Amino acid sequence: GENVEQHPSTLSVQEGDSAVIKCTYSDSASNYFPWYKQELGKRPQLIIDIRSNVGEKKDQRIAVTLNKTAKHFSLHITETQPEDSAVYFCAASIILRRNAGNMLTFGGGTRLMVKP
């Protein structure tokens, strides 16, 4: 099955700096890569996702890049703010698979701390 590794496990940055979180996956058939943000005590929520037919996607201060050959993808947050502090999870999945669970395999999470 799929295995997703995520690094670093903790990341501390100064407000205004950039933060980068990296993930690798093992199943070359995976073609959907979402990122979730989980604030303390709350449910994970999708912040951005990318499909295998594109190499980069951007949404305001957040961007995700995908390298299918190397099987890794990254989350980039620019101009970080204290409210960006949370745990971030990457995940990998295979979509368009009939009668399957399409379950997400998550990375171990990164605790991002943005210092004001």
Nearest distance from C-beta of residue 79 to other proteins, angstroms: 26
| Nearest to 96, CA basis, from 28, 27, 30 | 30
Nearest distance from C-beta of residue 24 to other proteins, angstroms: 14
Nearest distance from C-beta of residue 45 to other proteins, angstroms: 7
What are the beta bridge partners of residue 20? 76
Residue closer to other proteins by CB (options 77, 107) is 107
How is residue 8 written in tokens?
A: 């670093």
Q: How far is CA 75 from CA 19, 31, 67, 70, in A?
A: 8, 16, 12, 16
Residue closer to other proteins by CB (options 53, 99) is 99
Binding site residues, other proteins, CB under 8 A: 6, 32, 34, 42-46, 49, 89, 91, 93, 95-109, 111
Residue closer to other proteins by CB (options 65, 93) is 93
Cβ-defined contacts of 49-54 (< 8 Å, 24+): 51/95
